[in-house]
Amino acid sequence: MSTRTSTRGSGTEIAGSTAALLASRLRSLGEQRSLSAGLLILAVVVFLALAGEYLTPFDPTLSVVAVGGKIHNIPPLLPPGSTVRIDERTELLFVLGTDHLGRDVLSRIVTGARFVLTVALVATAISAAIGVTLGLLSGYVGGALDRVVSLVMDSMYAFPGLVLAIAVAALLGTGILNMATAIAVVYIPSYYRMVRGAVLSLKSLPFVEALRVMGMDTPSILFRHIAPNALYSIIAVLPMNFADAVITEAALSFLGLGISPPTPDWGYDLNTGRRYFLSGHWWIGAFPGMMIVLTVLGFLLVGEGLGERFNPRRLMRR
Amino acid sequence: MGLRDYVVKRILLMIPIVFVLLTIVFVLLRALPGDPVTMLEGKDIPEEVLARRRAELGLDQPLHVQYLNYLASVLRGDLGYTALERIPVAEYIAMRLPATVELALAASLLSIMIGVALGMLASFYRTKTTLPVVKIYSSVTFAIPVFYLGLLLQATLGVGAGLFPTGGRLSALNEVALSPRPTGFVVVDAFIVGKPWIVVDFLHHLALPSLTLGIYLSSVFARVTYLTLAEVTSQDYFTAGRSRGLTMMMLVLRYGMRNAMIPLITMAGLQVAALLGGAVLTETVFNWPGIGYVVYEGILKRDYALVQGAVTIYAIIVAVVNLVVDIVYAYIDPRIRY
């Protein structure tokens, strides 16, 4: 507690305890603040993913626009804030410019949210499901099973996650489920370790022994009594997993293992924008990149808020 | 148990770990549904060509035979041949290894320097602003994908300001000047060949990629340094030192950092996976000719043997690096030698 610094100059004990109270209030407010800031960011990104095409001024996959029944080509590589005059009455504004094919960058980053979030959601679900199940079984059963699974999980944990994901993605190919599987592989050990640790400490508690004495069978003890208690431990991992999944999805797309064009995707657009970065057309890649950063930051803030609430001594893990 | 016994035991323990890692690589690459040949060679290729490729890679055999073949060939140091140039993959990767080691060392050094400096600054000047600064720095550097950071640095410091080259390991002239490469490490080779000025060009090229990877990795070090120092500085002996008139800077440097070393080394060990993963992307962005770039090339050229070979080498590197970290750890902290 930092009462020492907060009472500096106040002198009296009452003022000291008030200051301490205030400090702890402020701290929990700060915790709340990072949680609510994160949730706000995520709400916006999820809204973009759901609303998608209904919000965008142009079709994200087309380099033409229909005005007054006629099809007009959109010029490529327009810088942000450019306007194009179609006729006397209509002038089109490209807030974030257009890409090398004349597609509106704003429309692409808005609709790009959908694919990333879907992949991240599916990936998180897969790795949580597998990791938690393995952790529960391994922790409760123990013995040879525990040793073997732990060895495999520790080895996977030490392996560079991205390289694992690349290897799997290169094999499975593109598509939501395939990419999600490739990303999911990376995070299974994190859930496994958390849940296994929790189960190990839970199973020696008296209530488990009492259940056993009462004649309850192992699956019921494990899934109805231990699992709900052990699952608390993964609450802080979930948002981190999400954040990592978004980054890994972008990385796979960036390496050319993502979805096939023209579906908008931040990582893919960043990869396209890469070639134009050096020629000064920075906006093609810069804005999708910013969306990735923002989304990851959102998950990170939520994770931090939850992490502080559930486990104050937890360090950030990459 | 003495340090030597521990080291021997640890080296022997590496054998099952390598075995497990190779098994994981095999399971991921072969036993998962999905056909690497169709995946990498493309779908519009006639079936007999695909069948020939499959037979060539030994993918037409039953799984357990493939598994034994895979382990046997790795033991022999045979990782197959590249699809196009028909160079042994092992040789091809060995050629690229020094570049990755150079990048990894430079980036680790930078990340620890940046991270520790930030963490120390935040604990010297403990005001309301320093903690948020460290927090924001470590969150933002965590959230920026390393390839995006690389592109931004390339665009600003590279193209925009024209301070650094945006890709490659040496400029073309020096690449030729250094043509016989006895060790593969530029810094060593430049001296062997007798052209030490090439090192300057090399460092100039190394600046942006190592900074990219260094910033990416520094977030964790900043956080760990700050948190450890925060804990150490609230101890009684710190207050005692302060009351005897020692400055905060002196206390942190002489007593605080010594305590912060152990979690920092643990973190450094844990960061190796992030370092190697980040290196794949950094090398891709900066055309840095290391193993990470081989992975990218393998995907790009649809060369299955190359991807598999690179992943196998990663498995071995991970095992070796973990061994080294454990030994260093045991050397620093005597309690480890159980």
Which pLDDT tens digit goes with each residue over A27-85? 665 667 788 888 999 999 999 999 888 888 888 888 788 877 788 888 888 888 888 88
- Using the Cβ of A26 and the Cβ atoms of chain B, whether some distance falls under 8 Å is answered with no
Stated pTM of the model: 0.85
The pLDDT of residue A313: 45
Q: In the predicted model, is pLDDT for residue A10 greater than 70?
A: no
Task: Give mean pLDDT, residues A199-206.
Answer: 89
Residues of A in contact with B28 (CB under 8 A): 164, 167-168, 171, 185
- Using the Cβ of A22 and the Cβ atoms of chain B, whether some distance falls under 8 Å is answered with no
The pLDDT of residue A11: 43
The pLDDT of residue A3: 37
What is the rounded CA–CA span in Å between residue B320 and residue B322? 5
pLDDT in tens, B191-238: 888 888 889 999 999 999 999 999 999 988 888 888 888 887 778 888
Task: Give mean pLDDT, residues B123-144.
Answer: 80
The pLDDT of residue B107: 95
The pLDDT of residue B31: 66
Task: Give mean pLDDT, residues A242-256.
Answer: 91
pLDDT in tens, B42-100: 667 777 877 877 787 777 788 888 888 888 988 888 888 887 788 899 999 999 999 99
pLDDT in tens, A81-111: 888 887 777 788 888 888 888 788 888 988 8
The pLDDT of residue A311: 53
Cβ distance of A300 and B32 shorter than 8 Å: no
Q: In the predicted model, is pLDDT for residue A219 greater than 70?
A: yes
Strand, coil or helix: A84:
strand
CB B310 within 8 A of CB B298: yes
What is the rounded CA–CA span in Å between residue B44 and residue B302? 14
Strand, coil or helix: B32:
coil
Residues of B in contact with A256 (CB under 8 A): 299-300
In which band, very low, low, confident or very high, does the pLDDT at A8 lie, cut at 50, 70 and 90?
very low
Looking at this protein, which amino acid is placed at residue B217? Answer: L
Residue B111 sits at the vertex; the CA angle it makes with B108 and B115, to the nearest 5 degrees, is 140
Task: Give mean pLDDT, residues B179-202.
Answer: 85
The pLDDT of residue A315: 40
What is the rounded CA–CA span in Å between residue B229 and residue B309? 43
In which band, very low, low, confident or very high, does the pLDDT at A314 lie, cut at 50, 70 and 90?
very low
Cβ distance of B147 and A254 shorter than 8 Å: yes
The pLDDT of residue A277: 81
CB B139 within 8 A of CB A301: yes
What is the rounded CA–CA span in Å between residue A28 and residue A174? 43
Surface of A (273-292) touching B: CB under 8 A: 273-274, 277-278, 280, 282, 285-286, 289, 292
The pLDDT of residue B206: 95
Residues whose CB is less than 8 angstroms from the CB of residue A315 and which lie 6 or more positions away in sequence, other chains included: B223, B224, B227
Could you tell me the two tokens for A91? 């002038």
What is the rounded CA–CA span in Å between residue A256 and residue A169? 10
pLDDT in tens, A142-191: 899 999 999 889 888 888 888 888 888 887 877 889 899 999 998 999 99
Least confident of A182-196, A300-314, B305-319: A300-314
Task: Give mean pLDDT, residues B307-327.
Answer: 85
Cβ distance of A159 and B24 shorter than 8 Å: yes
Cβ distance of A277 and B29 shorter than 8 Å: no
Question: What is the pairing mode between strands A70-73 and A64-67?
Answer: antiparallel
Residues of B in contact with A286 (CB under 8 A): 152
Least confident of A145-159, B24-38, B96-110: B24-38
Give percent of chain B above pLDDT 70: 93
CB A308 within 8 A of CB B158: no
Q: In the predicted model, is pLDDT for residue A316 greater than 60?
A: no
Give percent of chain A above pLDDT 90: 27
How far is residue A217 CA from its own chain's centroid?
A: 38
Q: What is the mean pLDDT of chain A?
A: 83
Cβ distance of B154 and A270 shorter than 8 Å: no
Distance in Å, alpha carbon of A210 to nearest chain B alpha carbon: 36
What is the rounded CA–CA span in Å between residue B123 and residue B132? 12
Q: In the predicted model, is pLDDT for residue A312 greater than 60?
A: no
Residue that has been written with the tokens 């034994």 in this structure: B68
Give percent of chain B above pLDDT 90: 22
Residue from the list B39, B140, B145 with its beta carbon closest to the beta carbon of A250: B145
CB B131 within 8 A of CB B165: no
Task: Give mean pLDDT, residues B249-257.
Answer: 80
pLDDT in tens, B282-309: 999 999 999 999 888 887 777 778 888 8
The pLDDT of residue B150: 94
Q: What is the mean pLDDT of chain B?
A: 84
